[in-house]
Amino acid sequence: VELVESGGGAVEDGGSLRLSCVGSGLPASQFNGYCLAWFRQSPGKNQREMVATISRLGTPGYGDSVKGRFTISKDHTKKTLYLEMTRLKPEDTGIYYCAREVRQVCLEAPGGYSSWGQGTQVTVSS
């Protein structure tokens, strides 16, 4: 099973990007049965920070720094997780990873996820 992110790039302060994460090797029903999440690792930081999560039932959760600007969604028929990012700021710069775990309640800690993608770079310039 692989998670493959795409959609990263370089934008200016205030810009927008849409990230995608495709889950290959899984039936669509199993993709929908997981907690799915976006994390990011910012330059100079060792810990990955939770950006957004979406539960098996579609309930979203967001990190405080992105609330009101980012939207997480999924299309289980396409086995794809999305992250719509608007009003981007330089501090949003980092490598964005998608992750999944079989869990009823999605956790905020990266240790709560066993499957990860390879990451996609997002750079926001001021």
Q: Per-residue pLDDT tens for 69-95?
A: 999 999 988 999 999 999 999 999 999
How far apart CA 92 and CA 123 sit, in angstroms, is: 8
Strands 49-54 and 35-41: antiparallel
* Model pLDDT, residue 112: 93
Could you report the per-residue pLDDT of 11-49, keeping only the tens digit for each?
Answer: 999 999 999 999 988 787 777 778 999 999 999 998 999
Q: Which of 77, 80, 28 minimizes the C-alpha distance to 54?
A: 80
Give the pairing of strands 17-24 and 35-41.
unpaired
DSSP 36-75: EEEEEE-TT-SSPEEEEEE-TT--EEE-TTTTTTEEEEEE
Looking at residue 110, the DSSP 8-state letter turns out to be G
